[in-house]
Structure 1
Amino acid sequence: MGHPDTSAGGTAAAARLSVAPMMDWTDRHCRAFHRTLTRHALLYTEMVTAQAVIHGDRPRLLDYDATEHPVALQLGGSEPAELAEAVRIAADWGYDEINLNVGCPSDRVKAGCFGAVLMLEPERVAACVAAMRAVSPVEVTVKCRIGVDEQVPEEVLPAFLETVSAAGVTRFAIHARKAWLQGLSPKENREIPPLDYPLVVEMKRRFPQFHISINGGITGLDQAEELLEQGLDGVMLGRAAYHEPALLLEADGRFWGDPRGISAHEAVEEFRPYIARHLESGGRLHQITRHMLGLFHGQPGARGWRRVLSERATRPGAGFDVLDAALAELLRDAA
Structure 2
Amino acid sequence: MQFIDQVDIQVQGGKGGDGLVAFRREKYVPAGGPSGGNGGRGGSVILNAVENLQTLLDFRYNHLFKAEDGQRGGPNNRTGASGRDRLIEVPCGTVVYDAETGEIIGDLIAPGQTLCVAQGGKGGLGNQHFLSNRNRAPEWALPGLPGEERSLRLELKLLAEVGIIGLPNAGKSTLIAALSAARPKIADYPFTTLVPNLGVVRKPSGDGTVFADIPGLIEGAHLGLGLGHEFLRHIERTRLLLHLVDITSTDPVADYTTIQAELQAYGRGLSDRPQVLALNKIDAIAQDAAQVEAIATQLETISSSPVFTISAVTRDGLDTLMHRIWQMLDELVPAS
* TM more than 0.5: no
Q: Which has the higher strand share?
A: 2
TM-score, L = length of structure 1: 0.30
Q: Highest Rg: 1 or 2?
A: 2
